[in-house]
Structure 1
């Protein structure tokens, strides 16, 4: 049995939570003036609710803290010339739909200090008491940044961005460009904001399609039972060794990806945590290579996502071998990972506009299914940890941070900054699921610096 391990000296100054004090704040605008204009969100942006996503990077030593922050701000101003949507605002258009106002407003940039605390003593595995203080709450605009300095000379760079504007793939491009600008390295290829790549073909014949089965207009979402209690969730960050990842993939059977194998394990853990319920499991699928196999969408900045899912009763799940569960995951992921599905999803959204829509995977229900506990897995394996070097070296630790308000769980595996195939897994889920994860022979351990 595996137990949750805390980092050494985890309680800072005799308390459970670190104290972070804001020391400076300003808005960083693009280094060059921008002609204000509107940029429509694509139909695949419109399937996202107004939620924010965080990501943070821990650096062992940054030298002079003031100089480091100055470098970050100067590089940010430079890169926002190219990534100007991040310096804008999301506003409502005449139809009431969100769109980007590329106003050059800028990015809120805060500096903070964790006085009397060393970064190595922070319990990163318990984000509610640690990471919440290190990743900024976005109050306005599209993006916010916070740089927190520790007494040992280390620092954390935390960012929060509006998911309606871009997905993790897009934000990764920005991070790499920002780091390159800070180092004075050549700029990577520029992003593309060409919305015609996701233009609708038709608004007819959308009923009964896979898109229609995976998404639903908000007005058609059934209300929760009047006696339903608000969902509770806790947040954790785990480290999983490469050997455990490899063993899990081998157990899932030939031809299964690491993500499919992990999703299958998580699905079975949900069955153990909620033995009296059906369990809905979804996977976020990136569509860039499916929409444009020629690579035309590789630099595209925006959301190109869909969320297939499956629903199985806990009793049946508990009796299935891991390989059989992985086969089921592979089946519905493969069904959605096609250019045809992404094209029909663009058309389906067009047919619903201006009404907002939502992915059924988050609702815990399927066609004809009873209510189910729900979870969505999103791969963060493309997080470019080694490339987010602002001149202080590779991060010692990095993770996404997504304590979203929805009732469904959200789990995101990503590469560990340690390399070697190790994973970091961000978990936002019900306490029952977290307890089962920490009893699982696959080693979910707290991360260490």
Structure 2
């Protein structure tokens, strides 16, 4: 792990009062129902996203605040549900009142530069990203407004956005943001037309639950316990890098038949194992990795291009703390692969049926042994261009409760890797770092078949 880079101890941030940015043209005044996948309680939280942009001489004199604000108004004409307001209908069913009120927008100015956050920021330095998180939290980029543009004294700027997850998944959010970039660059014809059609993921009538959905196990908890994705008090954020060397070493720990697993499956198994040991649970306690699976390709015919709702499901890989501690890394990899392989079109429809049968307040087990890693390494959010070129960094960046994000990085040599955001209390974070260090010191597998090959599915 890198030590934090220096941040100016004294700086000034001037924020203007939030204002609403409404669609540039009149939009339909109507109510739109969310799907039975969208409106589950587990998705009722805000996802933060941040893009950093450097000074670009070719747009000298252009104000990123005004360019993005105008583009936002234009983009909301097609994506007008984002300009409405969420509310609950009968039986907790979420819907959007398409009122055209607009999106909250804040502009700010900060007397710092990108360079002051570390000379290697252009290569996604971990220290620099940690510094930027501290800066953004302190300046309120995550606390006020849905959209925030902070101009820096070097001519660069920060674009930050918070989205209620019930409206879109990562792919849907990316679609909206690329449309926003096109508008900012003057591209009036969108490459992908947005499609609502949320009824496509509503439960059948009668609802049929044909899978066992352990990801929604009803755990024992006091009635007054709030639904939350923040299981820890006083958590801190940190980042862990997985470059070519780290990934190669982890892959060498697997038996030959598992070495063709995806990099995401490999890193997720590693993070799950290290986190589980770091949080000091009872050896016999069950822990679960909820595997994020984009189910768009699982449908026949495939899901319509332009659909920007949630098409993700979260099949669970479940085991005990003792098993993760004593078994090799391949055991966790295989559990994750089995969970992902269970997702077919009928699985998604079964999840929708479960939401209807058990009510919209159904949620993931809100216990510290639940963990999610969401993959943004292929989302290409850094390619969103508002006229200032590609972002220096683009992605959700910070972990949210028990959800970690895996994001793309690039070192000074131009080698591509991944960085994982982790949210844990300080003592657990120290143990996590130690567990990861120990794993990366293990000797490669000798090619013998691992006992993990014979494990049964935990689903």
Same fold judged by TM-score > 0.5? yes
Distance in 1 (CA, whole Å) between partners of 2:357 and 2:290 is 24
* Displacement after TM superposition at 1:112 (Å): 0.6
Distance in 1 (CA, whole Å) between partners of 2:197 and 2:276 is 43
Q: Tell me whether 373-382 or 175-184 shows the greater mean CA deviation.
A: 373-382
- Provide TM-score, normalisation by structure 1: 0.82
Distance in 1 (CA, whole Å) between partners of 2:404 and 2:433 is 14
* Displacement after TM superposition at 1:304 (Å): 1.5
Matched, 1:58 2:63: no
Matched, 1:40 2:43: no
- 8 Å contact kept, 1:260–1:329: yes
Aligned partner of residue 438 in structure 1, secondary structure: helix
> Hey, what does 2:422 align to over in structure 1?
427
- 8 Å contact kept, 1:307–1:359: no
> Hey, what does 1:179 align to over in structure 2?
181
- 8 Å contact kept, 2:318–2:335: no
- 8 Å contact kept, 1:284–1:377: yes
Matched, 1:381 2:377: yes
* Displacement after TM superposition at 1:95 (Å): 3.8
Q: Tell me whether 66-75 or 309-318 shows the greater mean CA deviation.
A: 309-318
- Provide TM-score, normalisation by structure 2: 0.81
1:111-260 residue pairs with structure 2 within 5 A?
Answer: 111-115=107-111, 117-122=112-117, 123-126=128-131, 129-133=134-138, 136-137=141-142, 144-185=146-187, 186-206=189-209, 209-211=211-213, 213-215=214-216, 222-223=221-222, 231-252=233-254, 253-260=258-265
Aligned partner of residue 424 in structure 1, secondary structure: strand
- 8 Å contact kept, 1:134–1:156: no
- 8 Å contact kept, 2:382–2:393: no
Distance in 2 (CA, whole Å) between partners of 1:37 and 1:192 is 16
Give the aligned length: 411
Matched, 1:282 2:277: no
Distance in 2 (CA, whole Å) between partners of 1:374 and 1:431 is 19
Distance in 1 (CA, whole Å) between partners of 2:63 and 2:16 is 15
Distance in 1 (CA, whole Å) between partners of 2:61 and 2:233 is 41
CA spacing shift, 1:225–1:146, aligned 2, 3 Å: closer
- The counterpart of 2:407, out of the listed 414, 437, 442, is 414
* Displacement after TM superposition at 1:24 (Å): 5.5
CA spacing shift, 1:67–1:232, aligned 2, 3 Å: closer
Distance in 1 (CA, whole Å) between partners of 2:426 and 2:415 is 30
> Hey, what does 2:433 align to over in structure 1?
438
- 8 Å contact kept, 1:41–1:99: yes
* Displacement after TM superposition at 1:230 (Å): 5.8
* Displacement after TM superposition at 1:36 (Å): 1.0
1:62-73 residue pairs with structure 2 within 5 A?
Answer: 62=56, 64=60, 67-73=63-69
Distance in 2 (CA, whole Å) between partners of 1:168 and 1:387 is 15
CA spacing shift, 1:303–1:417, aligned 2, 3 Å: farther
Structure 2's unaligned 5+ residue stretches are 118-127, 226-230, 441-459
Moved over 6 A (4+): none
> Hey, what does 1:5 align to over in structure 2?
3
- 8 Å contact kept, 1:271–1:315: no
- 8 Å contact kept, 1:235–1:426: yes
* Displacement after TM superposition at 1:432 (Å): 3.9
Deviation readout 1:35-75 (Å, 9 max, x if unpaired) = 21111010001213421011011111155576221111111
Deviation readout 1:224-255 (Å, 9 max, x if unpaired) = 899xx963421224443244334434544323
1:349-428 residue pairs with structure 2 within 5 A?
Answer: 349-353=355-359, 355-360=360-365, 363-364=366-367, 373-401=369-397, 404=400, 409-416=402-409, 420-428=415-423
- 8 Å contact kept, 2:237–2:422: yes
- 8 Å contact kept, 1:80–1:87: yes
Aligned partner of residue 378 in structure 1, secondary structure: strand
Q: Aligned Cα RMSD in Å?
A: 2.8
Distance in 2 (CA, whole Å) between partners of 1:250 and 1:80 is 48
Matched, 1:97 2:93: yes
Deviation readout 1:352-373 (Å, 9 max, x if unpaired) = 33x411023xx33xxxxxxx63
Distance in 2 (CA, whole Å) between partners of 1:231 and 1:224 is 20
Distance in 1 (CA, whole Å) between partners of 2:375 and 2:338 is 17
* Displacement after TM superposition at 1:105 (Å): 1.0
> Hey, what does 1:297 align to over in structure 2?
304
Distance in 2 (CA, whole Å) between partners of 1:137 and 1:271 is 28
Structure 1's unaligned 5+ residue stretches are 365-371, 444-449
Aligned partner of residue 214 in structure 1, secondary structure: helix
